[in-house]
Structure 1
Amino acid sequence: MTTPDQPFLLDTLRAEIHGIGVLAAPADPDLPVPACPGWTVGRLIRHLGGVAHRVTDWVDTQTLPLDWEREPPDGQDALEWFRAAADGLFRSLASRPPSFPCQTWFPADRTFGFWRRRMAHEFTVHRVDLEQALGFPPVIDPALAADGVDEVLTLWLAEPNRPAPEPTITVPGRGEVFEVHCPGRVWTVTMPSGDGNPVIRPEAAAAADGRVSGEATDVDLWLWGRGSLDALTVSGDVSALRRTVESCTRYPAD
């Protein structure tokens, strides 16, 4: 399976920004978002607007923002605020080539390309949230979904510098080994024995405590808590893998 290139990721971000606006415009802002307990459509839109402001500030100033615009100013429509923030994010990320140096939280990739990829997946996952809230079946390009699986495993599960929801950046484990597979891609996840960070290898596992495989979209959605394990082929127990990913990515309602 072909890995998405940088123009594709930037085009994806632009399309997702537009799609989120289209989906949210007629939606009740108080409609619950099933994948994010305690969140509503309105809360989701404010979250994405805040993300857009934070990353734009990070990219433009080359400094980790300690404070940024998290909510629309008094009197401003939340959806219009989101659109303006997201459009500003797109312009910033399109203003430099993907290899241009840029501050990030991932030591292995400090370029504009990191943020293009991260934001393409961020907005895709939350577009899925809106679709599920409105009762629409989500669709993700298979190549993007396979890259999404790689991103959640390498950037969130295994990266100690990730912006974790909890103060700790350790993930307790019992040394379990999991294999994750979708067409053309395979990963072995080795959990730590105790505190630490999992190790991800882009290869099949010789032996595993649990294996999960399926179409890339279904694997990506399951890892992000947006899809059912029923859509996948499973052997062994993979519940610890899903719980650990959730501990790295789930932010509480506020």
Structure 2
Amino acid sequence: MSIDAHATIAREADRLAAVLARTDPAARVPTCPDWTADDLLWHLTEVHEFWAAILREGVTSEEEVQRIEEAKSPRPEDREELLARRAAATAALLEQLGAHEDEDPAWFWFSEVQGVGATRRMQPHEATVHRVDAELTADLDQLSPIAPEDALAGLDHVLQVMWPAGFEWIPDWATLRPVAVVEIAPAGYEVRQLLISRWSGARPRDGQEFDAPVGRPLADPADADGLPRARAAGTPQALDLWAWGRVRALDRLPGGPQTVNVDGDPEAVAQLEALIAEGHD
């Protein structure tokens, strides 16, 4: 399902800024407790400036990414300057997205997904999720809705990019084992199949033990043989926020509270909960 990525980025980023402009700069962000409202505003500003620079300069290597990072201007101290810089950053990102095709080369942090299209697909969800963070920070009684097509795209981005990217950080000394299969069932739409694995082992240099979940779409049904199963069902909007770790937002959605119903084998449910707990900032 295609979405208007540029319109979504503009709408959600402007909404975030408008909400935070009326919020105490020092208010804590409940979904990112290390951040204040102004930290959240700065985060989206940095993100938009960074990706605008990546596309503008045609960056394709880690060395070029480092140069972009080192060249960024410091954070403004004044709230009005920060708001103005956010607006300029979003405009710059949209300008660069409009100037490039999805197939144009550009660096992206997940090696399996490269090109301008990766940024065009990621940024609507980055803006949407952080707009939700802003509205929670402002303690609004009712959050702005997420359209079904945007929610489904956001859910699929978690399943196809955010969780699979975890495989890239698995060290070569670790052991990887599949542990569960989960059906992700958005009401009225196609069911998604998720394979959850865990990587574990002792780090050679200090013996520290690791055991963490990763997930990716189930590619081969044979990989699910013998594994415990669970099912997560809800509206596209509820599943999108749940997958992005914004469960507390479900109580404030338009039309009343929503839930994601998770049931099945207790072991599979536990593995899914562990994966969700990893979260996304």
Which category describes the TM-score, using the shorter chain as reference length? 0.7 to 0.9
Which residue in the other structure is 2:280 paired with? 249
Superposed, 1:206-217 pairs within 5 Å as 208-217=228-237
Alpha-carbon RMSD: 3.1
Q: Provide the C-alpha distance between the structure 1 equivalents of 2:194 and 2:100, rounded to a whole number of angstroms.
A: 34
Q: Is residue 2:174 matched to residue 1:143? A: no
Q: Is residue 2:82 matched to residue 1:86? A: no
Question: Which shows bigger deviation, 95-104 or 195-204?
Answer: 195-204
Which residue in the other structure is 2:116 paired with? 112
Which residue in the other structure is 1:220 paired with? 240
Contact 2:102 2:116 survives alignment (8 Å): yes
Shift of 1:141: 0.8
Contact 1:171 1:197 survives alignment (8 Å): no
Q: Provide the C-alpha distance between the structure 2 equivalents of 1:109 and 1:210, rounded to a whole number of angstroms.
A: 28
Q: Provide the C-alpha distance between the structure 1 equivalents of 2:156 and 2:18, rounded to a whole number of angstroms.
A: 28
Q: Secondary structure at 2:263's aligned position in 1?
A: strand
Shift of 1:202: 7.4
Shift of 1:139: 1.2
Q: Is residue 2:262 matched to residue 1:234? A: yes
Which residue in the other structure is 1:188 paired with? 193
Q: Provide the C-alpha distance between the structure 1 equivalents of 2:98 and 2:272, rounded to a whole number of angstroms.
A: 35
Structure 1 or 2, whichever has the larger Rg, is: 2
**Letter aligned with residue 194 of structure 1:** W
Q: Secondary structure at 2:103's aligned position in 1?
A: coil
CA gap of 1:144–1:58, structure 2 versus 1, over 3 A, is same
Question: Which shows bigger deviation, 26-35 or 117-126?
Answer: 26-35
Contact 1:9 1:116 survives alignment (8 Å): yes
Contact 2:245 2:279 survives alignment (8 Å): no
Question: Which shows bigger deviation, 37-46 or 56-65?
Answer: 56-65
Shift of 1:106: 3.5
TM-score, scaled to structure 2: 0.75
Which residue in the other structure is 1:13 paired with? 9
**Letter aligned with residue 243 of structure 1:** A
CA gap of 1:73–1:36, structure 2 versus 1, over 3 A, is closer
Contact 2:178 2:197 survives alignment (8 Å): yes
More strand per residue: 1 or 2?
Answer: 2
CA gap of 1:175–1:97, structure 2 versus 1, over 3 A, is same
Structure 1 segments unaligned to the other structure (5+ residues)? none
Contact 1:29 1:40 survives alignment (8 Å): yes
Shift of 1:124: 0.5
**Letter aligned with residue 10 of structure 1:** H
Q: Is residue 2:95 matched to residue 1:72? A: no
Contact 1:102 1:111 survives alignment (8 Å): yes
Shift of 1:168: 6.6
Which residue in the other structure is 1:45 paired with? 41
CA gap of 1:86–1:239, structure 2 versus 1, over 3 A, is farther
TM-score, scaled to structure 1: 0.82
Q: Provide the C-alpha distance between the structure 2 equivalents of 1:203 and 1:233, rounded to a whole number of angstroms.
A: 25
Shift of 1:113: 2.0
Deviations 1:86-108 (A, max 9, x none): 22111111111233332223344
Structure 2 segments unaligned to the other structure (5+ residues)? 201-212, 251-257
Sequence identity percentage = 25
Q: Is residue 2:219 matched to residue 1:199? A: no
CA gap of 1:112–1:187, structure 2 versus 1, over 3 A, is same
Q: Provide the C-alpha distance between the structure 2 equivalents of 1:171 and 1:144, rounded to a whole number of angstroms.
A: 36
Q: Secondary structure at 1:4's aligned position in 2?
A: coil
Contact 2:232 2:263 survives alignment (8 Å): yes
Q: Secondary structure at 1:72's aligned position in 2?
A: coil
Question: Which shows bigger deviation, 116-125 or 196-205?
Answer: 196-205
Contact 2:45 2:89 survives alignment (8 Å): yes
Shift of 1:28: 1.2
CA gap of 1:202–1:130, structure 2 versus 1, over 3 A, is farther
Q: Provide the C-alpha distance between the structure 2 equivalents of 1:168 and 1:112, rounded to a whole number of angstroms.
A: 28
Which residue in the other structure is 1:122 paired with? 126
Q: Provide the C-alpha distance between the structure 1 equivalents of 2:247 and 2:103, rounded to a whole number of angstroms.
A: 33
Contact 1:102 1:112 survives alignment (8 Å): yes
